Amino acid sequence: MIEIDRITKIYNGVPAVDAVTMTVESGTITVIVGTSGSGKTTLLRMINRLEEPTSGEVRINGESTLEIKPHLLRRRIGYAIQGHGLFPHHNVARNIGAVPTLLNWPKDKIRARVDELLTLFSMEPAEFRDRFPAELSGGQQQRVGVARALASRPDLLLMDEPFGALDPIIRARAQDDLRRIQRALGSTIVLVSHDMEEAIRLGDRVAVMDGGQLVQHGTPADIIANPATPFVADMVGDMERPLRLLSLVPLAEVVEDGGAPGAALPADGSLRDALSACLWTGRTAVPVEREGALIGRVTLETIRARAGLRA
Amino acid sequence: MAGARHGVSHPGVLFAVLGLAALLVPFMTLAANRIVAAEGVMAWSVAPAALTIPGLVALVLGLGLGLPAARPRLRLLGAVLGLGGLLWLLVQGASGLLDGAGDYARVSPALGVWCLLTIFMLSMTDALVQLAPGPLARGTLLAAVLAALAVILWSGALAPLSVLQEYASRKAAFADAALRHLALAFGSLATAALIGFPVGILCHRNRRLRGAILPVLSFLQTIPSLAMFGLMIPILGWIGDSVPGAQAFGIAGIGFAPAFLALVLYSLLPVVANTVAGLAAAPPASIEAARGMGMTSGQRLLRVELPMGLPILLTGLRIVLVQNIGLAVIAGLIGGGGFGTFVFQGLNQTATDLILLGALPSVALALISAIVMDILVELTRPQAARAA
């Protein structure tokens, strides 16, 4: 558990982060969203003390980060940034093994960990281990960057706009990968983004920052349904709200008995996918399948009921 | 043949025209003794026709092979053939012209030889640039050229040439000057590196220090070399006279110490400036990542900044080395020793051969150092960058 306790950063008399208090549960993804200048990156960088807080403190599993030497603290916390920051003169294996090397892991243990991570990120170790960053595509570089941040099994992974430099299709894949890997490893992640879409897609919790203050902290559904301030509502986008809500509901949660014509959707798809399929093919219901077997249907009626504020 | 298919190399044409023109000026000179004016001898008259014709054919053929643009290997071969022809004619002329010319007669290469030598070396460089050999191939080539040069000098075939006559009468002094020259150039390089690297690292870390130090070093660099050596005389002279024991270490107004100090001062700017530039070459994102993963500033320096900046750091050393080999010649003027001693002695006595005895080895040393350092710089480039 990460407890951020009234943390403040003042630059030239102006608070960049103003007494933010927030708790991040272990094994969850928290996305800090805000416009540029909202203090979101400063907040993130105070967690691993790349910025020293003016006041307040951060506790990781009860231990104050102020009591640990900064470089030792950072070795326990993964850090991935926009534009990956890989070392161009080291190959993939040395890049991923950077933190374990700092921690003096034995060589064979590092090697095994590198191969394990490459496999986890769907990159064949024998093929990619010895390549240099310049010989990878943008998506591959980004995956190596995240693998490097995860290499020492850190208590916490901080990510600063990790997908900012990727094109939209690769970005969506990278987000899905991150979700899958986070579930598999049970990692705790704090991620900074300026993109509410990304926050809703990835976050178990979303924290909205504005002018150095934490204006709302809750589940994505909560943020969409009950924006605390006009700024949050603006970030969510009024027009998009029903669709964003629908994208949060998996079909498996609302499937009902019965049949429907046409192609089936997978149970882990969202209601947004179902609405799209209905509108596109003129159906009033779509069948739902799990591993090839039909398990029921979802009707437009159900979709409508979940798309707005329920009375 | 190939020229018709793929066109003619423009530098090749230039070299051929200049080379043929160079054949029409005196190839060697013959003088009755070391001081009197010499008379020129054309290339075809340096020896009996039976001996000059093979050399002339090799020269012309060498120029011709330089023409086909698409055949760099052939052009390289042409340059080697031309240099061979040049050497052959020199050897024939050296012994041929001296026959019956008297005990004090001197025979020297003249304008034609120097022009042709330059042309074939340029042609060779041009062909090599086109071939773009790897660092290893370049090193092997350099070693082969040096070995050939050593064998030729060792064999004594060129010994009658006046430059080598000057050498023969000054063997001990030459060895001394060579050692002194190397000590000046490499010693000042090592000292400058020892001072410059730490200063460069500090400047990289501290913007204010950089703002203070780099302008001072730039100013030192702008002092003309003669003035710098001149300035050293009163300064070190004063230190030698007023600091007890300083003279015991050889610190005096003239000699090795002031020359060495001047060279070190000249070297500091390239070393420090390239260290700063090299350390700044690492991408900011990599530095941020290194900090974020918990590297200490020392680890960042050793694992990220230095390895990535090494080619630029070495480029700084290359500049310094080549510059100091040249400047060390001028150090001869204040008694610093080295090849400059011969150059200035020769200038005083208007003895061209003596000047060449100092100048030729300096040029060769600078060339070899430049090539070796270039190879080192390339070897330190990141593998991926080299492959790309």
Q: Which residues of B touch A135 (CB under 8 A)?
A: 384, 387
- For B209, the domain range is 171-387
Mutation site for B-interface testing, chosen from A86, A90, A144, A153 by largest number of B Cβ within 10 Å = A90
pLDDT of residue B5: 52
Name the percent of chain A in helix, strand, coil, to the closest 5. Answer: 40, 25, 30
Contacts of B161 (CB under 8 A, 6+ apart): B90, B94, B107, B108, B109
Question: Is residue B162 situated within a structural domain?
Answer: no
- Scanning B306-335 for CB atoms below 8 A from A yields 307-308
Count A/B contacts: CB-CB distance under 8 Å. Answer: 75
Question: Is residue B21 situated within a structural domain?
Answer: yes
pLDDT band at residue A126 under the 50/70/90 scheme = very high
pLDDT band at residue B387 under the 50/70/90 scheme = very low
Burial B308-329 (b: 16+ CB within 10 A, else e): bbbbbbbbbbbbbbbbbbbbbb
pLDDT of residue B383: 59
Q: What is the mean pLDDT of chain A?
A: 90
B208: exposed, middle or buried (C-beta count within 10 Å: 0-12, 13-18, 19+)? exposed
Q: Which residues of A touch B383 (CB under 8 A)?
A: 89, 132
Q: Which residues of B touch A84 (CB under 8 A)?
A: 285, 289
Bigger pLDDT: A86 vs A239:
A86
Kindly state the tokens that stand for B65.
């092979």
pLDDT of residue A24: 94
Pair B18, B131 in one domain: yes
Amino acid in the structure at residue B35: I
Is the pLDDT at B200 greater than 70? The verdict is: yes
Is the pLDDT at B177 greater than 80? The verdict is: yes
Q: Is A79–B388 a contact, with Cβ atoms under 8 angstroms apart?
A: no
Q: Is-contact A4 A47, C-beta < 8 A?
A: yes
Burial B20-55 (b: 16+ CB within 10 A, else e): eebbebbbbbbbeebeeebeebebebbbeeebbeeb
CATH, residue B377? 1.10.3720.10
Q: Is B293–A148 a contact, with Cβ atoms under 8 angstroms apart?
A: yes
Q: Is B384–A86 a contact, with Cβ atoms under 8 angstroms apart?
A: no
Query: How many Cβ atoms are within 10 Å of A134's Cβ, its own excluded?
Result: 15
Q: Is B292–A72 a contact, with Cβ atoms under 8 angstroms apart?
A: no
Is the pLDDT at B4 greater than 50? The verdict is: no
**What angle do helix axes A138-150 and A107-120 make, rounded to 10 degrees?**
130
A47 at B interface, C-beta within 8 A? no
Rounded to a whole number of angstroms, the distance from the CA of B308 to the nearest CA of chain A is: 7
pLDDT of residue B14: 92
Rounded to a whole number of angstroms, the distance from the CA of B310 to the nearest CA of chain A is: 11
Pair B204, B325 in one domain: yes
Q: Is A71–B294 a contact, with Cβ atoms under 8 angstroms apart?
A: yes
User: Mean pLDDT over residues A125-133, rounded?
Assistant: 93
CATH, residue B134? 1.20.140
Pair B208, B76 in one domain: no
Pair B47, B189 in one domain: no
Nearest CA in chain B to A86: B286
Question: Is residue B46 situated within a structural domain?
Answer: yes
Is the pLDDT at A63 greater than 50? The verdict is: yes
User: pLDDT (tens digit, 9 = 90+) per residue, A182-203?
Assistant: 988 899 999 999 988 899 889 9
Of A89, A98, A134, the CB nearest to B293: A98
pLDDT band at residue B244 under the 50/70/90 scheme = confident
User: pLDDT (tens digit, 9 = 90+) per residue, B154-173?
Assistant: 988 888 888 888 898 888 99
Domain boundary among B97, B121, B155: B155
Pair B184, B270 in one domain: yes
User: Mean pLDDT over residues A53-72, rounded?
Assistant: 93
Nearest CA in chain B to A134: B384
Q: CA-CA distance, B299 to B293, in Å (whole number)?
A: 11
A164 at B interface, C-beta within 8 A? no
DSSP A39: S
User: pLDDT (tens digit, 9 = 90+) per residue, B206-236?
Assistant: 889 998 999 999 998 888 888 888 888 888 8
Mutation site for B-interface testing, chosen from A45, A86, A89, A99 by largest number of B Cβ within 10 Å = A89
Question: Is residue B161 situated within a structural domain?
Answer: no
Distance of CA B173 to the CA centre of its chain: 21
- Scanning B205-224 for CB atoms below 8 A from A yields none
Is the pLDDT at B27 greater than 50? The verdict is: yes
pLDDT band at residue B20 under the 50/70/90 scheme = very high
Pair B210, B305 in one domain: yes
Least confident of A134-143, A249-258, B181-190, B237-246: B237-246
A138 at B interface, C-beta within 8 A? no
Question: Is residue B54 situated within a structural domain?
Answer: yes
Contacts of B275 (CB under 8 A, 6+ apart): B196, B197, B199, B200, B201, B203, B204, B309, B313, B316
pLDDT band at residue B373 under the 50/70/90 scheme = very high
Rounded to a whole number of angstroms, the distance from the CA of B279 to the nearest CA of chain A is: 14
Q: What's the topology of domain A2-236?
A: Rossmann fold (3.40.50)
Nearest CA in chain A to B382: A89
Q: What is the mean pLDDT of chain B?
A: 88
Residue ranges matching CATH 3.10.580.10 in chain A: 244-306
Is the pLDDT at A223 greater than 80? The verdict is: yes
pLDDT of residue B1: 44
Q: Is-contact B292 A50, C-beta < 8 A?
A: yes
Q: Is A132–B294 a contact, with Cβ atoms under 8 angstroms apart?
A: no
Pair B211, B134 in one domain: no
Name the one residue in this structure whose structure tokens are 């700063």: B276
Is the pLDDT at B283 greater than 60? The verdict is: yes
Pair B140, B180 in one domain: no
Q: Is-contact A212 A231, C-beta < 8 A?
A: no
pLDDT of residue A16: 93
Q: Which residues of B touch A50 (CB under 8 A)?
A: 291-292
Domain boundary among B131, B155, B179: B155
pLDDT of residue B382: 66
Q: CA-CA distance, B162 to B30, in Å (whole number)?
A: 10
Rounded to a whole number of angstroms, the distance from the CA of B339 to the nearest CA of chain A is: 42
Class of domain A244-306: alpha beta
Domain boundary among B129, B155, B181: B155
User: Mean pLDDT over residues B23-29, rounded?
Assistant: 91
Rounded to a whole number of angstroms, the distance from the CA of A141 to the nearest CA of chain B is: 13
Kindly state the tokens that stand for B280.
């700044």
pLDDT of residue B2: 43
Pair B83, B181 in one domain: no
Question: Is residue B308 situated within a structural domain?
Answer: yes
Pair B201, B250 in one domain: yes
DSSP A238: G
| Pick from A163, A224, A210: nearest CA to A189 | A163
Is the pLDDT at A274 greater than 50? The verdict is: yes
A95 at B interface, C-beta within 8 A? no
Structurally, how many domains does chain B consist of?
2
Q: Which parts of A9-49 fold into alpha helices (H)? A: 40-47
B388 at A interface, C-beta within 8 A? yes
B4 at A interface, C-beta within 8 A? no
Amino acid in the structure at residue B68: P
Q: CA-CA distance, B347 to B359, in Å (whole number)?
A: 12
Pair B282, B356 in one domain: yes
Is the pLDDT at A21 greater than 90? The verdict is: yes
Element (H, E) at A299: strand A293-299
| Pick from B38, B40, B78, B42: nearest CA to B60 | B78
Is the pLDDT at B3 greater than 60? The verdict is: no
Rounded to a whole number of angstroms, the distance from the CA of B293 to the nearest CA of chain A is: 5
Residue ranges matching CATH 3.40.50.300 in chain A: 2-236
Is the pLDDT at B116 greater than 80? The verdict is: yes
Question: Is residue B165 situated within a structural domain?
Answer: no
User: pLDDT (tens digit, 9 = 90+) per residue, B308-360?
Assistant: 999 999 999 999 999 999 999 988 888 888 899 999 999 988 888 899 999 99
Question: Is residue B164 situated within a structural domain?
Answer: no
pLDDT of residue B386: 47
A148 at B interface, C-beta within 8 A? yes
Q: Which residues of B touch A71 (CB under 8 A)?
A: 294-296
Q: CA-CA distance, B28 to B33, in Å (whole number)?
A: 15
Is the pLDDT at B388 greater than 50? The verdict is: no
User: pLDDT (tens digit, 9 = 90+) per residue, B30-51?
Assistant: 888 777 778 888 888 888 888 8
Return the ∠ at Cα A166 (arms to A162 and A167), rounded to 5°: 150
Pair B82, B218 in one domain: no
